[in-house]
Amino acid sequence: MADAVTDIQTGRRQSATLERAKKLKILVVDDEPDNLDLLYRTFRRDFHVLKADSGVNALEVLSVEGEVAVIISDQRMPEMKGTEFLSKTVPQFPDTVRIILTGFTDIEDLVEAINAGQVYKYITKPWDPGELKAVVQRAAETYDLLKQRTEELRRANAQMSLLTVLVQVTQASKSLEETLTPIATAFAESFAADTCILQMLEGNTLSATQGFYSSEGTVNNWLNQDTMTNEAIATGQIQVTINVAKDAKLSNVSHYQDNGIQAHVLIPITYRNDMLGVLSLQWKQPVSLREDELTLIHLSAQLVAIALTSSLCSQ
């Protein structure tokens, strides 16, 4: 197993190295242009900073940009106070950490907002840049940790579902055809893939027998044209690219461009040195794969081989 994972992480591809973490997005909101510019300049080096000069405009920014890690909002603004604006962001973005800047003592509004979980911390004006940067850094770390734990829980649940499906399929499927689509669907859901194809082999050639999952409902199967498929069949080893645009061998391949595929994992399904088929995981965005995910893919492929062998023997 270690050799299989090592093979994924080395070789011709940049693929199995984790991509450099992107800057977290934060949103700064203040109706005074000088303050807004100062907030932007304070954080632009460490974060991807979005700006808005009112609560209304900030809501529009969020509708376009989506979730941000931290919102820093002035309290006293025309049309909508900071606490009112922040309260409107809670339903859609519960994980975002919210900070209020206030130049006056409005204890009632602030205490209510804090107690309702809408405000992480308030800082009084004139604020100290060092203090504010420290608070925002802790807020970003809090957001990042929450996201990591949420993702770990999602992965754990998806992986358990995957293993459950593999066991159930092995025990219950009456035909090979019944086996393929549930397995492909379980893999796609476990690894958040846009497309998954599980296709059988006849000798060293892909057969017409396949099962698939696609987020779009239909799939264009180009595996028989793909160099990764040829390499997987020839070597019996998993083939990985996590960013097609940066892969010299694939960046100009038409079927990747035509179908918008930006990442691809191709797994040979082998039982006792007999290659039964291949399993293809495809994403429309570049992905990062952790070592534990690569290990899970390898282990799950072995279980798939057992499930397929069981289905073949029962026919």
Residue 228: which of 258, 272, 197, 203 has the closest Cα?
A: 197
In the 3-class helix/strand/coil scheme, how is 156-206 assigned residue by residue? HHHHHHHHHHHHHHHHHCCCHHHHHHHHHHHHHHHCCCCEEEEEEEECCEE
Higher pLDDT pick, 114 / 37: 37
pLDDT at 2 over 60: no
Lowest-pLDDT range of 71-80, 188-197, 301-310: 301-310
The proportion of the chain whose per-residue pLDDT surpasses 70, expressed as a percent, equals 85
How confident is residue 61, by pLDDT bands cut at 50, 70 and 90?
very high
Most confident of 21-25, 80-84, 96-100: 96-100
**How, if at all, do strands 25-29 and 48-52 pair?**
parallel
The whole-angstrom separation of Cα 312 and Cα 40 is 62
Class of domain 173-314 (CATH, top level): alpha beta
How confident is residue 50, by pLDDT bands cut at 50, 70 and 90?
very high
The identity of residue 275, as a single letter, is: M
pLDDT at 67 over 90: yes
pLDDT at 12 over 60: no
pLDDT at 80 over 80: yes
Ranges of each domain in the chain: 25-146, 173-314
- Position 234 scores a pLDDT of 92
pLDDT at 185 over 60: yes
How confident is residue 59, by pLDDT bands cut at 50, 70 and 90?
very high
pLDDT at 167 over 80: no
* Average pLDDT over the chain, rounded to an integer: 84
- Position 7 scores a pLDDT of 42
The proportion of the chain whose per-residue pLDDT surpasses 90, expressed as a percent, equals 50
Q: What is the pLDDT of residues 204-254, one digit of tens each?
A: 899 999 999 999 888 899 999 999 999 999 999 999 999 999 998 998 999
Residue 314: which of 175, 179, 209 has the closest Cα?
A: 175
Average pLDDT over residues 176-190: 85
pLDDT at 15 over 80: no
Distances (CA, A) of 48 to 31, 52, 86, 148, 216: 20, 14, 20, 19, 32
Instruction: List the beta bridge partners of residue 97.
Output: 70
- Position 43 scores a pLDDT of 94
pLDDT at 87 over 80: yes
Pick the CATH number of 25-146 from 3.40.50.2300, 2.60.40.1730, 3.30.365.10, 3.40.50.150: 3.40.50.2300
